Amino acid sequence: MHRRQKPSAPEHKRDLAAHGEALSMSHNDTHSFFNFSQLVLSAGHLKPPPVLKHSKTTYFEVEILDVQSKKQICIVDKVPPSSTLLDVKHKFHKACPRWYPSRVGLQLERNGPYLKDSINIQSLAVSSIITLYFTDLGQQVGWTTFFLTEYTGPLLIYLLFYIRLSTIYDQVESTKNFRHPVVHLACFCHCLHYIRHLLETLFVHKFSGGHTPLKNMIKGCAFYWGFTSWIAYYINHPRYTPPSFGHRQVSFAALAFLMCEAGNHFINVALAHQNHSGLKACFPSPTYNPFTWLFLLVSCPNYTYEVGSWISFTVMTQTLPVGIFAFLMVIQMSLWAQKKHKLYLKRYYPEVRRKAAMIPIIF
């Protein structure tokens, strides 16, 4: 048998040191792992790093060509899909400052209709490049300015003739001749008519188009201002003769005039609020107000009342210039009524199909 030899003192010390070092390392590792676990638990769940998303938005380029020469005027680049045509017009205005947005007319085809400002640019896109044709619409004015200018003129012009300026009438003849009451009544009715138009322009009407060419305003002013001068000259003339049937004719005509003015106002108010009755747009229906009952017969009762006012004014004053003006108004209002009636048939066919455009019973 072999006897187990005891290790020598140096070797024994070396083994104890190694064993102690191993125990110390194990104790340190356990302590470090415990500290790391406490750190993880206090920090909460580990979150993965955020994933970077790359934008894939497609931008359009709008090429604008001259409608006559087909030459390129400019390219509007980096147009987002959510942009409208009005946004493109603003960018076009920055590139070409001489053409502001209301003066710019854009078309998809050279002979096509002008595109509306509210149209979305993405709906026009076939590819990333959109080609539009540019037309200079000329000097533009707002609809509010248009109507205020058109209606303020007749109001002031008539009053100038009513006070009988010495530069218009003979002063001696003006002081001699007595003014018939119908002259004062006609001035009141004429002023009432245009004051109503001005107030409705400011507080009732809602204009969707935005702008109109300046030449249209000049034509409208020439028509209304010119006829007002002719009408006012005859009615306020010192030698003006009253209507043939006297007071009875004047009274009935004045009553009809006031009724037509009231009806016109209530119809305009109803048309201004026709889309506020529900989620879906519907044609205005008659209410408890008897002036709105004309909606049962015609689709454009505001034109019916407007024509009725001028026919009543013609009967009340019994003058040729008013009669000619009323006749032209009937023609113009009929054309406008037919145009609107066709639009109403497309939008509100079941409600409008059995109505006349302006004159009841005439379908």
Listed by start position, the domains of the chain span: 60-138, 141-242, 243-275+282-362
User: Which residues are within 8 A (CB) of 216 and not within 5 positions of it... i.e. 6 or more apart?
Assistant: 146
User: What six digits make up the tokens of 215?
Assistant: 């030449």
User: What six digits make up the tokens of 122?
Assistant: 């993405």
Cβ atoms within 10 Å, residue 188:
13
Specify the pairing of strand 129-136 against strand 60-66.
parallel
Per-residue pLDDT for the chain (363 aa), expressed as one digit of tens each? 444 445 555 554 455 444 555 444 444 555 555 555 555 445 555 555 555 455 566 889 999 999 999 999 999 988 998 899 999 999 999 999 988 898 999 999 988 899 988 899 989 888 889 999 999 998 999 999 999 999 999 999 999 999 998 889 988 888 877 899 999 999 999 999 999 999 999 999 988 767 899 999 999 999 999 999 999 999 999 999 999 999 999 999 999 999 999 999 999 999 988 754 444 567 888 889 999 999 999 999 999 999 999 999 999 999 999 999 999 999 999 999 999 999 988 888 777 888 899 988 654
CB < 8 Å & 24+ apart, contacts of 118-121: 118/84, 118/85, 118/86, 119/84, 119/85, 120/81, 120/82, 120/83, 120/84, 121/60, 121/62, 121/79, 121/81, 121/83, 121/84, 121/85, 121/87, 121/88
- The answer to whether 162 and 190 have CB atoms below 8 angstroms apart is no
The structure's pTM equals: 0.78
CA pseudo-torsion sign 271, 276, 282, 286: negative
User: What six digits make up the tokens of 149?
Assistant: 């200018």
Please provide the CATH number assigned to the domain covering 60-138.
Answer: 3.10.20.90
